[in-house]
């Protein structure tokens, strides 16, 4: 069981606390401990209450002993006193870590074990890492030997606390879908479960963040309604809650509403208690003050509305803590169910970047959690996550746990895939075939359903709307005249009931974007050579390639055909974008106006950062960015914005074709496609540099007008600061666009073609793009490659700075050996800093 560790320290010793957390990282990763200190208090939380709460629940308390700690009234008089009382009661163990020389031998806790060895202060050791390793080894011994009194009481009272039935234990770990993995015989829910996020309705006005981890529901138990789409993971979430509640000594009971056929609550409780616990009566359950009721799928309850309300009324009278799940459509109507008026409503969200990475990491660790290295795990994780992101891409495929797991399983079983399809086309087709199988569609009828859906997708694309009932009838009438007749009612009902199609506002369309794009692309790929209408539509798609839906249909076309017309048409569009510009070379002369600015930027420092924390922060930024994207279609952009969007979409399409078709495209075709994509991006960059230089004076004036609001700045300071802001913006765009080109056009399997492009162009921009592709897709830092790039850029201050930022950022996201860091430090003239200092915040300590 994970031990809770509380760190008591003076804020003047924050750097020591940071070092300690780094050295405790493996204990945290292996879930031996969880760590808390006052820097984890969120803005707006009542800090003293949080400190008291976490100190009181701690199993291990670590004192960071120093003169500042002993001088702090809060540390010594409050935290030490409470910890000593808890130790006396057997609730926690105390370990003193001597970090700086001080008179600690006369303290109350002097008789307790201290680390490192012989109580020698950390600051006095020749090597701080050796000191911390010795201290952590001592802490590990204490953790292994100490058993809190609450665990002893729980163990000795097992005969009193009810036991789960074997069926319930098995159910709690059942994934409820068949999952196969080459390294384990059975995939358990506890091995792979990732807690999703939920969005709260009508939070207090002061709480601006209404998206939180679903764990937050447990921290404020009460009455809560959790809504989600089908297969969103509602039942798995209740299993997670069930397990966590048991761990925290609550008494949960799970009820699937579909099995509730009587409104008499006691009858329902009696049935489910006998199934889930050994020998617990209804009276005993209802008399337990820590009882919690979990009701799944309330919208499927087997009672009519009147008796459903009677049942819910009884639940509300008997329970203070009730967690109920329902389908999203029911949550829209819950206001009509008065018994749910006082429930906090939350929406279950799909798995974002952070959660998808966590699930991929757990999947990849199955069967090798203790043996796989961090380097290998993060490399494999990023490869898998990149593939997931391409397929899920802005919810083309729903980012639900079941879809992510199905895709992970497909990646694992790639040797059995249909080789006639491209590397991602098979994923979409397999998802569709699986849906057909769930709908009990016979395999010999697959072709019929595929053809109906292709023609329907084409109708929607051509008419730019979903058909109403009359239009749908006409569509099927025309279809039956051109192809073998089908039973409209049977086909439509099967597809509606199994989430291929959906009815919305009296119109019938595709439930999920990927199904629409897949079949629209299929129709175009199969008919392009024979149909003038299809060829005209493709021209229309290409002319509006900046639209998200059109760009996706073009990508799906490449899944269905290997015909060269796709590549030539896309290349033609990309070649025409910003055709009056030369590709930006980023030579020293072109960037001369930025040299003084770059020299004024503070030198980079290669800091020691916790990799998983940096990756989490990066993924959280991606999630926040996606959540803040407008959901409605934006108005048609003006020409220049349309061309910029086309450039970005075109680069992405070129990159996806290379990644999907690298095994079947000729080298010349891939070089041409990659070159077209990269050059369109660099022509836009040239255009940006040109217009930003031309508009510099206007931009500086605009920035100056905003800075004038700062009365403490002189006119000269305002002018200088405005110019610095302008140069910062320009530098950031150049830096960001180079990485965007690399991430869009790059592919791990095609590194040879980027080397050809670099040699062909021979420019600083091509060298930076090639190195960025290497870092983003191979995930390894090759020092010799970096050295070669440094040599090419040695007289170019701006590009050298961009190179340094690429390398430093990589070291924060992936493990890099200390020896390599030292080589990079010398090569790039970057100092290595032992530890990143956290922002200082005071909560009443010295």
* Beta-bridge partners for 251: 291
**How much is the pLDDT for 761?**
93
Radius of gyration of the chain measured on its C-alpha atoms: 31
Please, which pLDDT band fits residue 148 given cuts at 50, 70 and 90? low
> Residue 255 above 70 pLDDT?
yes
> Residue 610 above 90 pLDDT?
no
> Residue range 379-392: average pLDDT?
84
Q: Which residue has the higher pLDDT, 456 or 820?
A: 456
> Residue range 617-627: average pLDDT?
83
Least confident of 111-125, 273-287, 332-346, 598-612: 598-612
**How much is the pLDDT for 690?**
84
The 10s digit of each residue's pLDDT in 663-704 is: 778 898 899 999 999 999 999 999 888 877 676 666 666 656
Which among 558, 556, 574 has a CA at the least distance from the CA of 566? 558
CATH superfamily entry for domain 3-154? Toll/interleukin-1 receptor homology (TIR) domain (3.40.50.10140)
**Which residue do the tokens 């090419």 mark?**
792
Q: CA 465, CA 772: separation in Å to the nearest integer?
A: 42
Q: For residue 699, count other CB atoms closer than 10 A to its CB.
A: 17
> Residue range 378-385: average pLDDT?
87
Two structure tokens written together for 241:
């809650």
**How much is the pLDDT for 27?**
86
> Residue 465 above 60 pLDDT?
yes
The 10s digit of each residue's pLDDT in 545-565 is: 888 888 889 888 877 877 778
> Residue range 434-450: average pLDDT?
87
**Which residue do the tokens 């790639």 mark?**
414
Which among 287, 289, 257 has a CA at the least distance from the CA of 272? 257
**How much is the pLDDT for 110?**
80
Read off φ and ψ for residue 63, nearest 5 degrees: -95, 125
Q: Which residue has the higher pLDDT, 274 or 41?
A: 274
Pairing of strands 291-296, 251-256: parallel
Please provide the average confidence, as pLDDT, over all residues in the chain: 84
CB 16 within 8 A of CB 834: no
What residues contact residue 807 under an 8 Å CB cut-off, 6+ apart?
775, 781, 786, 824, 828, 830
Cα 569–chain centre separation: 35
Please, which pLDDT band fits residue 205 given cuts at 50, 70 and 90? very low
Please, which pLDDT band fits residue 660 given cuts at 50, 70 and 90? confident
Please, which pLDDT band fits residue 206 given cuts at 50, 70 and 90? very low
> Residue range 111-133: average pLDDT?
87
Q: Which residue has the higher pLDDT, 729 or 686?
A: 686
* Domain residue spans of the chain: 3-154, 195-348, 432-564, 592-609+650-833
> Residue 616 above 50 pLDDT?
yes
Q: CA 168, CA 617: separation in Å to the nearest integer?
A: 37
The 10s digit of each residue's pLDDT in 780-815 is: 888 999 999 999 998 899 999 999 999 988 988 888
Which among 727, 742, 744, 733 has a CA at the least distance from the CA of 685? 733
**How much is the pLDDT for 745?**
92
**How much is the pLDDT for 387?**
80
The pTM is what? 0.71
Pairing of strands 93-98, 114-115: parallel
Q: Is the dihedral of CA 150, 152, 156, 159 positive or negative?
A: positive
Q: CA 392, CA 839: separation in Å to the nearest integer?
A: 36
Two structure tokens written together for 491:
């086909």
Kindly indicate whether the domain formed by 195-348 is annotated with CATH number 3.30.70.260.
Answer: no
**How much is the pLDDT for 715?**
63
> Residue range 621-649: average pLDDT?
72
> Residue range 406-410: average pLDDT?
84
> Residue range 290-316: average pLDDT?
93
**How much is the pLDDT for 495?**
92
**How much is the pLDDT for 621?**
85
Measured CA angle at 823 (ends 822, 829), to 5 deg: 85
What is residue 765's three-state secondary structure? helix
Give the whole-number percent of the chain exceeding pLDDT 90: 35
**How much is the pLDDT for 283?**
92
């Amino acid at each position: 069981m994970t031990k809770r560790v509380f760190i008591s320290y003076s804020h003047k010793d924050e750097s020591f606390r940071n070092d300690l957390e780094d050295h405790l990282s493996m204990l945290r990763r292996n879930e031996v401990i969880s760590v808390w200190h006052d820097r984890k208090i969120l803005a707006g939380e009542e800090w003293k209450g949080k400190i008291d709460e976490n100190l009181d629940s701690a199993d291990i308390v670590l004192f960071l002993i120093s003169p500042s700690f002993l001088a702090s009234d809060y540390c010594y008089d409050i935290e030490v006193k409470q910890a000593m009382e808890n130790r006396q009661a057997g609730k926690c163990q105390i370990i003193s870590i001597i970090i700086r020389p001080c008179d600690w031998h006369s303290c109350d806790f002097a008789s307790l074990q201290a680390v490192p060895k012989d109580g020698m202060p950390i600051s006095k050791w020749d090597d701080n890492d050796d000191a911390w390793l010795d201290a952590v080894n001592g802490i590990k011994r204490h953790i292994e030997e100490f058993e809190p009194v609450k665990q002893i009481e729980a163990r000795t009272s097992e005969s009193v606390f009810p036991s789960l039935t074997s069926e319930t234990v098995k159910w709690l770990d059942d994934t409820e879908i068949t999952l196969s993995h080459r390294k384990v015989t059975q995939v358990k829910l506890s091995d792979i479960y990732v807690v999703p996020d939920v969005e709260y309705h009508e939070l207090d006005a002061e709480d601006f963040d209404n998206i939180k981890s679903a764990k937050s529901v447990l921290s404020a138990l009460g009455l809560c309604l959790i809504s989600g789409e089908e297969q969103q993971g509602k039942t798995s979430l209740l299993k997670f809650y069930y397990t966590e509640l048991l761990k925290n000594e609550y008494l949960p009971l799970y009820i699937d509403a579909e099995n509730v056929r009587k409104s008499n609550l006691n009858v329902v409780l009696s049935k489910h208690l006998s199934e889930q616990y050994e020998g617990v009566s209804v009276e005993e359950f209802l008399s337990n003050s820590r009882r919690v009721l979990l009701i799944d799928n309330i919208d499927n309850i087997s009672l009519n509305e009147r008796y459903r309300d009677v049942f819910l009324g009884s639940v509300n009278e008997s329970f203070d803590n009730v967690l109920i799940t329902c389908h999203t459509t029911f949550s829209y109507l819950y206001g009509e169910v008065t018994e749910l008026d006082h429930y906090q409503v939350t929406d279950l969200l799909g798995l974002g970047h952070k959660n998808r990475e966590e699930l991929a990491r757990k999947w990849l660790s199955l069967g090798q959690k203790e043996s796989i290295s961090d380097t290998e795990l993060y490399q494999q994780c990023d490869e898998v996550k990149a593939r997931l992101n391409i397929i899920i891409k802005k919810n083309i495929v729903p980012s639900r746990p079941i879809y992510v797991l199905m895709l992970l399983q497909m990646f694992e079983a790639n040797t059995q895939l249909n080789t006639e399809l491209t590397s991602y086309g098979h994923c979409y087709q397999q998802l569709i075939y699986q849906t057909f199988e769930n709908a009990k569609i016979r395999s010999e009828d697959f072709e019929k359903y595929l053809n109906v859906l292709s023609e329907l997708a084409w109708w929607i694309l051509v008419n730019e709307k979903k058909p109403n009932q009359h239009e749908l009838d006409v569509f099927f009438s025309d279809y039956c005249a051109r192809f073998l007749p089908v039973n409209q009612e049977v086909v439509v009902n099967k597809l509606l009931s199994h989430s291929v199609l959906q009815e919305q506002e009296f119109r019938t369309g595709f439930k999920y974007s990927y199904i629409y794009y897949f079949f629209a692309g299929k129709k175009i790929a199969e008919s392009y050579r024979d149909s003038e209408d299809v060829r005209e539509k493709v021209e229309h798609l290409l002319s509006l390639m900046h639209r998200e839906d059109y760009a996706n249909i073009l990508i799906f076309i490449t899944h269905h055909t290997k015909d060269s017309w796709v590549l030539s048409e896309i290349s033609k569009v990309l070649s025409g974008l910003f055709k009056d510009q030369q590709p930006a070379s980023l030579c020293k002369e072109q960037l001369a106006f930025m040299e003084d600015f770059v020299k004024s930027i503070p030198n980079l420092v290669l800091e020691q950062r916790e990799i998983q924390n940096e990756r989490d922060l990066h993924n959280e930024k991606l999630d926040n960015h996606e959540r803040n994207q407008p959901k409605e279609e934006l108005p048609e952009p003006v020409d220049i914005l349309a061309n910029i969007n086309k450039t970005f979409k075109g680069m992405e399409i070129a990159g996806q074709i290379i990644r999907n078709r690298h095994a079947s495209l000729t080298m010349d075709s891939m070089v041409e496609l990659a070159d077209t994509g990269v050059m369109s991006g660099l022509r836009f960059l040239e255009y940006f540099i040109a217009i930003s230089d031309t508009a510099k004076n206007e931009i500086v004036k605009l920035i100056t007008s905003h800075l004038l609001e700062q009365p403490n700045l002189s006119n000269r300071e305002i002018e200088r600061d405005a110019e610095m802001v302008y140069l910062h913006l320009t530098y950031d765009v150049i830096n960001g666009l180079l990485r965007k080109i690399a991430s869009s056009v790059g592919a791990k399997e095609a590194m040879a073609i980027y080397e050809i492009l670099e040699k062909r162009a021979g420019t600083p921009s091509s060298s930076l793009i090639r190195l960025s592709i290497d870092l983003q897709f191979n995930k390894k830092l090759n020092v010799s490659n970096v050295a070669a790039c440094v040599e090419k850029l040695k007289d170019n201050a701006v590009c050298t700075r961009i190179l340094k930022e690429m390398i430093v950022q990589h070291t924060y996201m992936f493990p890099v050996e200390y020896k390599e860091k030292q080589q990079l430090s010398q090569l790039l003239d970057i100092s290595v800093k032992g530890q990143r200092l956290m922002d200082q915040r005071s909560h009443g300590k010295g």
